[in-house]
Amino acid sequence: MFHIDRKKAILSVLKKHETATVQELVDATGASESTIRRDLTDLESQQLIKRLHGGASLSKRKMEEPSMSEKESVNQTEKQAIAQAASTFVEHRHCLFIDAGTSTIELIPFLHNKEVIVVTNGIHHVPLLLENGIETYVTGGKAKPHTAALTGDKAVESVEAFRFDICFLGMNGVDGRQGFTTPDPEEAVVKKTAMSLAAQSYVLADHSKIGEVSFASVASVDQAAIVTTNKVDEHTLQQLQQETAVKVVNL
């Protein structure tokens, strides 16, 4: 495989899976490990990828936000495992805020029979909440076309009318120094408001979100516990655990 075709193949794998190990890229291209590492160095110098411990991920623009449909199939098994673990924190008749996103929507089926009350700003969440017999309140606000999240002043005002036992949030970026971040400043305010009104907040983050930094700050990492998986490298996990509680799900 020519080097141009090989680099295209590497980018194709990363676009499909968001992250990949060096060995996975070796298997996908048939190239040697040393060749893949050289290619990754070249691609990183072009700011097309970000080198990770033992692999790489696509570089993300700080204001770039994938659509709901683009995110739904990415790391879905990991998101489901995270959601199942997060559901164990929920007790009978808890009042919850569940924000919009593909990580948090996976939580809903695990709440069946817990008789919880849920407030959400996720339009896509509502049918699934109702299918599971969950008492549901939907915020007001402006609907974002790509993610169907409700944001803006009306969304914030709606959230402020409630108090929560637990707030479950998704984030585009989780970084020990830069904190929890998301591309949209208006959505960041909704998340921040919900956190301030909850007795406990959990951020559900698959491994591709760890170490990333997006445009708008939500909170420092010590403001919420993190639920992630053992696909995050051990050094990064240890750094996060110095700042906040981290629940690690073994896949």
**Confidence at 29, pLDDT banded by 50, 70, 90:** very high
Model pLDDT, residue 63:
47
Instruction: Dump the DSSP string for 212-236.
Output: ---SEEEE-GGGSEEEEETTS-HHH
Give residue 115's domain range.
68-249
Model pLDDT, residue 237:
94
Out of 22, 38, 58, a domain closes at 58
31-85 residue pLDDT tens: 999 999 999 998 888 778 888 888 898 876 644 555 444 444 567 899 999 999 9
**Quick one: what percent of the chain has pLDDT higher than 70?**
93
Model pLDDT, residue 26:
94
- Write down the pTM of the prediction: 0.76
115-135 residue pLDDT tens: 999 999 999 999 999 999 999
Out of 58, 84, 103, a domain closes at 58
CA distance 61 to 46: 14
What CATH number is attached to the domain comprising 17?
Answer: 1.10.10.10
CA distance 217 to 179: 7
Domain match, 33 and 126 both: no
Question: Would 63 be classed as within a structural domain?
Answer: no
DSSP H or E run through 181: strand 179-182
149 class by beta-carbon count within 10 Å (0-12 exposed, 13-18 middle, 19+ buried): buried
127-168 residue pLDDT tens: 999 999 999 999 999 999 989 999 999 999 999 999 999 999
What tokens were used for 225?
Answer: 């516990």
Model pLDDT, residue 15:
80
Please list, in sequence order, all residues whose beta carbon lies within 8 angstroms of the beta carbon of residue 176, skipping any fewer than 6 positions away.
Answer: 221, 236, 239, 240, 242, 243
Model pLDDT, residue 60:
66
Instruction: Report whether 32 contacts 26 (CB < 8 A).
Output: yes
Question: Would 17 be classed as within a structural domain?
Answer: yes
